[in-house]
Structure 1
């Protein structure tokens, strides 16, 4: 299954660590391709490829997060012969968490979970934009500063809007009433001007790990990750290098 779900941007014979990255709504595995240039040579880089995009374009996009999590967890089990850490941004954060739950239930010990720019699962806001008209959906995409440039051209919009609508359905219908605490360490990453996630929603992730949770803020809004890529990677590597449990930080 992994050839469908996993893009191995770097695989080495004896890695010290593997980092698996989960893209945002409308995103694809190629978003993380150049991260390998900024990682140590002994850290493998994997990226999840969701149905309906890039080389999976002929597949119908998923509309439920459970379906994505089952596929991702099954594929990642093939890469657990080295320590595995997960990183997810926006929709990818919720998906990385649900994937982590499934991996731990299957007996996999995860090194770390990094969740970026998303409320804790039990603090999901819901929504109905996925079932509304095109104008409202486009307005929200532009407001967040996501893939709006791809949607200005009518032909590209016809190709990409169904994928974005499906991704909106995934996250707007995702709900976990009660948090389940993971065994692995968990960090929260957040843009200082992110209007999609409140401080309370970000700190609520502390209910989803058995360890103290660290919150790290970066300059920028919801898509701070593009401008702050190097700082984010530096933070991940620093956290992964420590043997100490993270302390709670509200910077």
Structure 2
């Protein structure tokens, strides 16, 4: 099976002899096409795939999934069906939680990722409680715009708002109701990326990813807000590739 056979994986590039497979997991309300601009900055010997959640783009007519564990299970099964390759997982915001959850599932069946990158999100045991998915439309949209002011045009359009808000609300429900009872410590390094002006995750929270890996995470702060990666994709990709190429820098941490 190749990635093109799975609705869960959008193939942005697949080569004949790649040295690694980079799989990107979007934020709440995001879609696989968010990562298409990365093709311009990624070496040709790295395959690029992006996860496509139900309820958007070519999966628009499918019901969104409101359970993060269910999403992680579907994504894990789609990845397990692919030919074996070194796997890099990159998740932004909601996608960061999913990257960890998918990484844990793959590890439990002996197919763990080579490296996991989490962006703009605290680890699950440090995620503050919230229930924005239960709030009215105006409150939910205000929270979106607080994180991404560039999206104001989309949410000001009544037709687009009616189309996309239910899916976004489902994504918020998935992350806000995720309360895993067991947190697996990954054998793979977990590295953390965040924006300097992002109020969604503090440096202290970012450091807490240490609890979920046998390595000391590298924490890289980029200039910008929650969506810092939109303005500097090349710098983000260079960080991923540098960290993957230098596993010796992922030093063991003392167990808590």
User: What is the CA–CA distance in structure 2 between the aligned matches of 1:126 and 1:176, rounded to whole Å?
Assistant: 13
User: What is the CA–CA distance in structure 1 between the aligned matches of 2:110 and 2:160, rounded to whole Å?
Assistant: 43
RMSD, matched Cα: 1.5
For 2:60, the equivalent position in structure 1 comes to 57
State whether residues 104 and 112 of structure 2, in contact with CA within 8 Å, keep that contact through their aligned partners in structure 1. Answer: no
Kindly indicate whether residue 126 of structure 2 is the aligned counterpart of residue 127 of structure 1: no
Give the drift of 1:177: 5.2
Question: Which residue, 30, 35, 40 being the options, matches 1:32?
Answer: 35
State whether residues 25 and 90 of structure 2, in contact with CA within 8 Å, keep that contact through their aligned partners in structure 1. Answer: yes
User: What is the CA–CA distance in structure 2 between the aligned matches of 1:13 and 1:237, rounded to whole Å?
Assistant: 20
For 1:170, the equivalent position in structure 2 comes to 174
Give the drift of 1:246: 2.1
For 2:11, the equivalent position in structure 1 comes to 8
Question: Which residue, 180, 200, 204 being the options, matches 1:196?
Answer: 200
Structure 1 stretches of 4+ moved >6 Å:
none
Q: Deviations over 1:193-218 (max 9, x none)?
A: 11111111111100010111111100
Q: What SS does structure 2 have at the residue aligned with 1:168?
A: helix
State whether residues 130 and 166 of structure 1, in contact with CA within 8 Å, keep that contact through their aligned partners in structure 2. Answer: yes
Report the more deviating stretch, 207-216 or 49-58: 207-216
State whether residues 188 and 216 of structure 1, in contact with CA within 8 Å, keep that contact through their aligned partners in structure 2. Answer: yes
User: What is the CA–CA distance in structure 1 between the aligned matches of 2:106 and 2:223, rounded to whole Å?
Assistant: 32
User: What is the CA–CA distance in structure 2 between the aligned matches of 1:103 and 1:245, rounded to whole Å?
Assistant: 23
Q: Please give the TM-score of this superposition, normalised by the length of structure 1.
A: 0.95
For residues 55-204 of structure 1, the aligned pairs below 5 Å read 55-145=58-148, 147-176=151-180, 179-204=183-208
User: What is the CA–CA distance in structure 2 between the aligned matches of 1:227 and 1:247, rounded to whole Å?
Assistant: 30
Question: Which residue, 211, 214, 227 being the options, matches 2:215?
Answer: 211
User: What is the CA–CA distance in structure 1 between the aligned matches of 2:58 and 2:65, rounded to whole Å?
Assistant: 15
User: What is the CA–CA distance in structure 2 between the aligned matches of 1:244 and 1:99, rounded to whole Å?
Assistant: 24
Give the drift of 1:80: 4.7
State whether residues 103 and 112 of structure 2, in contact with CA within 8 Å, keep that contact through their aligned partners in structure 1. Answer: no
State whether residues 122 and 177 of structure 1, in contact with CA within 8 Å, keep that contact through their aligned partners in structure 2. Answer: no
Q: What SS does structure 1 have at the residue aligned with 2:240?
A: helix
Q: What SS does structure 2 have at the residue aligned with 1:4?
A: coil
Question: Which residue, 220, 227, 234 being the options, matches 2:224?
Answer: 220
User: What is the CA–CA distance in structure 2 between the aligned matches of 1:235 and 1:247, rounded to whole Å?
Assistant: 17
Kindly indicate whether residue 236 of structure 2 is the aligned counterpart of residue 237 of structure 1: no
User: What is the CA–CA distance in structure 2 between the aligned matches of 1:44 and 1:192, rounded to whole Å?
Assistant: 29
Report the more deviating stretch, 171-180 or 19-28: 171-180
Q: Which runs of 5+ in 2 are unaligned?
A: none
Give the drift of 1:114: 0.1
